[in-house]
Structure formats: C-alpha cells, structure tokens
Amino acid sequence: MSFKTLSSEYINQHRYFTARKDSYQTEAGKIVDPYFVVELPTGAGAMAITENNEVILIRQFRYPVKEMLIEIPGGFIDAGEDPEKAIRRELLEETGYSFQSVHLLGKTALNPGVLNNYTYMFLATGGVKTAAQSLDPNEEIEIIVQPLEEVRQMLLRHEIKQSMHALCLFYGFEFLKEHKLI
C-alpha cells in the first residue's frame, strides 16, 4: 500500500497525550485533510494468576467515562524497555505480586482510527505477594482477587468493560484451555 503523508503538525505534546493534525494522500489519490492522530506510548497488560489459581483484577475510577472499572493490571512501557520486563514491573507496582512465568499472548491496536499505539497482552502465572503497592501519585487502585471461574463469568456478563482488558482475558482463558491448565 502506498499512502503519502502530505503534512503533519503537532497540536499538543505531552508524555501521555500527544496529538497531531495530518494530511495524507491515499493510494487512489484521495486527499484526507485533516486527519487527527493521538500518539500514546506502547502499553502492556496481563491476566495475572496467583499461585492459588486466582485472578488478580484491579478496580479504579476512569475519569473519561466517569465510572469505576474492573480491569487487568498494566500500564505504559518505558522507552527502550522490554515488554515482558515492563509488565513484570507494572504487576509489582500495581498489585505487589511477583510471577513465576509470563507468557506473551499477543498485541492489539486499541483504536487504530485515532490512536497510534499497541498494547502487549500477557498471561502471568504463579503470582506471590512480595511487596506493597507502589502506585503513581494519581493512581488509586483497589486489588480484587477472584477464582478463575468467577472471572470467566464476569467476562461473560460484560463486567469487564475495557475492551483491551476483556480481549486479554479472553486470550488468557484460551491459552489456559489449550495448554490444559483449566
């Protein structure tokens, strides 16, 4: 495919929210102007399972939707940081748990119509509480530990509303089933 960027102008630059106004030409010659792109860092999230086969979820208020959401732990990957190292760091910071194994389930584009980033999805197993939470100043995260079957039911009841988090749980359950771990 041959798409050509004609212009690109930053309208906001911040670590967590950088926005551009672009103009581009499609393969067929159509000019698209303006096209807005939000640049975000690459992220990582994990279906995190304790050594007792319970899933660690988190509950936190999400201001853009003005709602408390149940999610999986995760966050942004630092520049130059390996995705597996990043998810291990995020899991420890947000939950206080360390994990024996971390398996890459895949990566997903959150909203490629507007956002330019990907999020790596992991399955972390053998979790043991090794530390207290070490949250960012703006984070207030409640830890929820649930049996595997209850989390599967939560997923089916649409209680996990964040799409990437639901997708990670879906792939995590498929991995566990495929490897006969459930």
The number of C-alpha atoms within 13 Å of 172 and in the hemisphere containing its C-beta is: 28
Model confidence over 2-56: pLDDT tens digits? 899 999 999 999 877 899 999 999 999 999 999 999 999 999 999 999 999 999 9
Instruction: Say yes or no: 13 and 98 in one domain.
Output: no
Which pLDDT band, with edges at 50, 70 and 90, does 76 fall under?
Answer: very high
Instruction: Say yes or no: 10 and 48 in one domain.
Output: no
Instruction: Say yes or no: 72 and 25 in one domain.
Output: no
**CA separation for the pair 25, 158 (Å, rounded):** 39
Average pLDDT estimate for 55-59: 98
Instruction: Say yes or no: 136 and 70 in one domain.
Output: yes
Q: Where are the alpha helices (DSSP H) in the chain?
A: 83-95, 148-156, 163-178
What's the predicted TM-score (pTM) here?
0.93
- pLDDT score recorded for residue 138: 86
Model confidence over 126-145: pLDDT tens digits? 999 999 999 988 889 999 99
What CATH number is associated with residue 131?
Answer: 3.90.79.10
Alpha-carbon distance values, 51 to 72, 101, 166 (Å)? 17, 11, 22
Residue found under tokens 């972390």: 124
Please tell me the total count of domains within the chain: 2
Arithmetic mean of pLDDT over the chain: 95
Instruction: Say yes or no: 72 and 155 in one domain.
Output: yes
Tell me the residue range of the domain where 55 lies.
43-178
